[in-house]
Homo-oligomer: A and B are copies of this chain.
Amino acid sequence: MSKPSLPQGTRDFSVAVVRKRNHIFNTIRSVFELYGFQPLETPAMENLDTLMGKYGEEGDKLIFKILNNGLDNSAKHEQARADFEKVLDGKNTKGITERALRYDLTIPFARYVAMNYGQLTLPFKRYQVQPVWRADRPQKGRYREFYQCDADVVGSNSLLNEVELSNIYATVFEKLGVRVEIRINSRKILAALAELCGGSDKMVDITIAIDKIDKIGLEKVKEELLQRGLLAEQVTRIEQYLSISGSNEEKLQQLRQLIGNNATGLAGIAEIEFVLGYTGQQHNLVADLTLARGLNYYTGIIFEVKALDVQMGSIGGGGRYDDLTGLFGVPNVPGVGISFGVDRIYDVMEELNLFPEAVQTGSKVLFFNLGDAESKKAFELMQQLRGSGIACELYHENSKFDKQFKYAEKKQIPFVVIIGSTELAENTCVIKNLKEGKQETVAQASLYEKVSI
């Protein structure tokens, strides 16, 4: 057997990392619950039909497909060969693969809503925290298995949902201690800009180009717009748009002048003002007119979250869509959702040293093992502590003191309790506080009181 290894782009999460990640997950989940969102879980596998064609041509190629079992059944070999030719031809065929790993949490959620539409209480507010899989080329910060943390509200057009979602962002990052800027824009404003630049058919070109401004800068965006067939005067207009700056109020004021009385644009401005009007100032909400978001399906407010103290891509994003479930036969279900980028949040917190020490708390007490009778007493006391909710361990064998101490140190167990023959006879125990280096002999009956501080 060769040395074992992991598939490219996947990771083991060791104890310390799981605890840190759980700190992030638990914080996000508790805030979702605080805001009335409820948990949903869908299977890792979906029918290939459910996923294909939903993520664009590039996305389709990144879906992990599951090979059908039983292909070695010789009665079916001819058919299997014919089916495999289709795979070589870039087509999917149920003969070879009919299931795939989920690529995101949105399409499975849409599939769930479509299948259960009559039973759901609307608006339906669900959150979902599960891994997804993509056959992307692995690189720093990009994995083939990673968690998504999504919250969506479906069945409501109310902008109060956008207010709530921006507050969820603010609350989560405040609890995690990460200083952020929550950027919002409205797709309606980009639509208005497209109308002002020759027609709504320009919307996709404009969105795709603007979406890159953080990465490639204004000049390259202008080049790309020209390449995409926009006229020089239209590009100048977009440049005017992208150059709008100042406070939120100042930006919206300049935007109003640019947009004139374009109805779609004015509706977009009203959306942004509504959301800012609630808790915008308090929570560092920023109207960012250069924000576009890559995905095509957004139709209203869009969000993006950037960490203030670390150079890093967005650590959260989302927006409003008009029709979640139309693809699955249930039309006209509007919604709005946000997502947290847990891997990046982890990196930000690691870089800024933001994980609380308490996150790594494992066992609080190690009982030394100094023989059969001694360890039986230790076991009895340990069970009492566990009954009071204190995590503890009894060293597994009667080894040298040194070895048992080392175990406690490596596992960062703060208290060591020693019961030798003397302590056994006198109903006492020695408690050693490893951090402070102090020790004392106390009655066994007062053990809980001593270690529960």
Binds B, one of A10-18, A216-224, A286-294: A10-18
Is A405 among interface residues, defined by CB-CB distance under 8 A?
no
CB distance from A173 to the nearest CB of B (A): 15
Is A81 among interface residues, defined by CB-CB distance under 8 A?
yes
Is A261 among interface residues, defined by CB-CB distance under 8 A?
no
Contact A11/B362 with A35-B386, A35-B393, A69-B61 known, Cβ cut-off 8 Å: no
Q: B362 and A38: CB pair below 8 A? A: yes
Binds B, one of A45-53, A196-204, A244-252: A45-53
CA distance A98 to B69 in the complex (A): 15
Q: Chain copies in the assembly?
A: 2
With both beta carbons as reference points, the residue of chain B lying nearest to A18 in the complex is identified as B39
Give which listed residue, B33, B46, B90, contacts A72 with CB less than 8 A.
B90
Q: A34 and B386: CB pair below 8 A? A: yes
Question: Which residues of A in the span 28-45 have a Cβ within 8 Å of any Cβ on B?
Answer: 33-36, 38-45
Contact string, A76-102, partner B, CB cutoff 8 A, digits 1/0? 010011001001111000001111010
CA distance A196 to B387 in the complex (A): 44
Q: A396 and B160: CB pair below 8 A? A: yes
Is A207 among interface residues, defined by CB-CB distance under 8 A?
no
CA distance A114 to B5 in the complex (A): 10
CB distance from A4 to the nearest CB of B (A): 5
Q: A10 and B97: CB pair below 8 A? A: no
Closest 10 CB pairs of A and B: A10-B43, A36-B393, A72-B90, A158-B396, A13-B41, A36-B363, A15-B38, A121-B410, A18-B39, A69-B135
16 contacts between A and B (CB under 8 A): A7-B99, A11-B43, A12-B40, A15-B38, A15-B40, A34-B389, A34-B392, A35-B393, A44-B131, A64-B66, A66-B101, A71-B87, A123-B396, A156-B397, A164-B394, A278-B379
